C-alpha cells in the first residue's frame, strides 16, 4: 500500500469520525429485539431483559427520534414535543444522560445546552435539554433522597413521550399515565425486574395494555443487525 492510499484511508476515516460525532443516529445498528421495540406502535411498549442487551441505549435512541420528530420505523408527533426520562436515582440519571447524549445529533441541540462528560447535562435543578426545533427533554427521578431535586414533579404538565428506565411504584405509574392522556402520548419501559415489585406491570402485560418484548442475554440479542460479529461472545455471556 503506497503513501497516497494511506492518506486517502486516513482522510476517509477522519470524515466518518466527524460524521459519527455530528449525527450518530446514522450509524446506529439495532439488534433484533431492539428493532422490535423501535417498530412497536403501541401506546405503552416494554423491553424487559438482562443487563448488557442495550435496553437503556434503545430507549435513548427512541427518545431522540421522537424529540426530532423523525422516526425511521413509525409515525411520531411533529416537534416541538415535551418528553421525560424518569430514572430511579440521580446517580442513575447521569449514566442515562451520557448514553442519551452519545446518540444526539449535536447540531440539533439548542446552543444553551451544556454537557459534561461523566456528569451529564448542566442545569440548576433537574436537567432540561432543549432542541432547536422547540422540543424539550426533562430528566426526573422517583428517588426522594435528593431534596427538591429528588421529587418527580408529576403534579402538572402534559407529556408526549415518557421513558421509564426502571419500573416505578404503581402509584407513580398511574400518575405517569395521566400525564400522557391529553396529548395521547406514549410510554416506553426498559427494565430488568430484579428486587422491585412489578406485579402491576405483569397484569398490564397479561391484559394486553402493555406490549412486551423480552430480551434474554444471548449472542443474538447482542448482535447488531448488519454487523459481522456480536458485541458479546457466548464465552463472555457465560
Q: Residue 15 domain-assigned?
A: no
How far apart (Å, rounded) are the C-alpha atoms in residues 83 and 191?
19
Q: Residue 20 domain-assigned?
A: no
pLDDT tens string, the chain, 238 residues long: the values are: 666 665 555 555 555 555 656 788 888 999 999 999 999 999 999 999 988 899 999 999 999 999 999 999 999 999 999 999 999 888 889 999 999 999 999 999 999 999 999 889 987 677 999 999 999 999 998 864 444 443 455 555 789 999 999 888 898 899 899 999 999 999 999 998 877 789 999 999 999 999 999 999 999 999 999 888 888 888 988 8
Q: Residue 207 domain-assigned?
A: yes
Give the domain range for residue 182. 30-237
For the chain, how many structural domains are there in total?
Answer: 1
- For 203-222, how does the pLDDT look when each residue is reduced to its tens digit (9 = 90+)? 999 999 999 999 999 999 99
- What pTM was estimated for this model as a whole? 0.87
How far apart (Å, rounded) are the C-alpha atoms in residues 49 and 233?
18
Q: Residue 112 domain-assigned?
A: yes
Classify strands 186-191 and 120-121 as parallel, antiparallel or unpaired: unpaired
Question: 184 is written with which cell numbers?
Answer: 395521547
CATH number for the domain including 87?
A: 3.40.50.300
Q: Residue 24 domain-assigned?
A: no
Q: Residue 190 domain-assigned?
A: yes
Q: Residue 18 domain-assigned?
A: no
Amino acid at each position: 500500500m503506497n503513501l497516497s492510499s494511506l492518506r486517502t484511508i486516513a482522510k476517509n476515516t477522519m470524515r466518518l469520525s466527524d460524521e459519527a460525532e455530528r449525527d450518530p443516529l446514522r450509524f446506529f445498528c439495532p439488534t433484533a429485539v431492539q428493532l422490535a421495540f423501535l417498530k412497536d406502535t403501541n401506546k405503552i411498549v416494554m423491553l424487559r431483559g438482562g443487563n448488557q442487551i442495550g435496553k437503556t441505549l434503545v430507549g435513548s435512541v427512541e427518545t431522540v427520534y421522537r424529540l426530532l420528530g423523525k422516526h425511521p420505523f413509525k409515525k411520531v408527533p411533529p416537534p416541538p414535543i415535551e418528553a421525560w426520562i424518569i430514572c430511579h436515582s440521580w446517580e442513575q440519571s447521569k449514566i442515562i444522560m451520557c448514553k442519551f447524549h452519545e446518540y444526539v445529533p449535536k447540531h440539533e441541540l439548542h446552543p444553551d445546552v451544556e454537557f459534561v462528560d461523566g456528569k451529564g447535562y448542566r442545569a440548576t435543578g433537574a436537567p432540561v435539554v432543549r432542541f432547536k426545533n422547540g422540543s424539550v427533554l426533562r430528566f426526573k427521578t422517583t428517588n426522594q433522597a435528593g431534596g427538591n431535586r429528588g421529587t418527580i414533579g408529576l403534579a402538572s404538565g402534559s407529556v408526549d413521550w415518557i421513558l421509564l428506565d426502571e419500573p416505578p411504584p404503581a402509584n407513580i405509574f398511574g400518575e405517569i399515565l395521566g400525564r400522557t392522556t391529553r396529548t395521547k402520548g406514549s410510554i416506553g419501559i426498559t427494565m430488568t425486574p430484579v428486587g422491585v415489585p412489578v406485579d402491576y406491570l405483569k397484569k398490564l402485560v397479561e391484559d394486553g395494555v402493555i406490549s412486551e418484548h423480552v430480551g434474554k442475554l444471548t449472542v443474538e440479542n447482542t448482535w447488531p443487525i448488519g454487523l459481522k460479529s456480536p458485541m458479546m461472545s457466548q464465552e463472555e455471556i457465560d
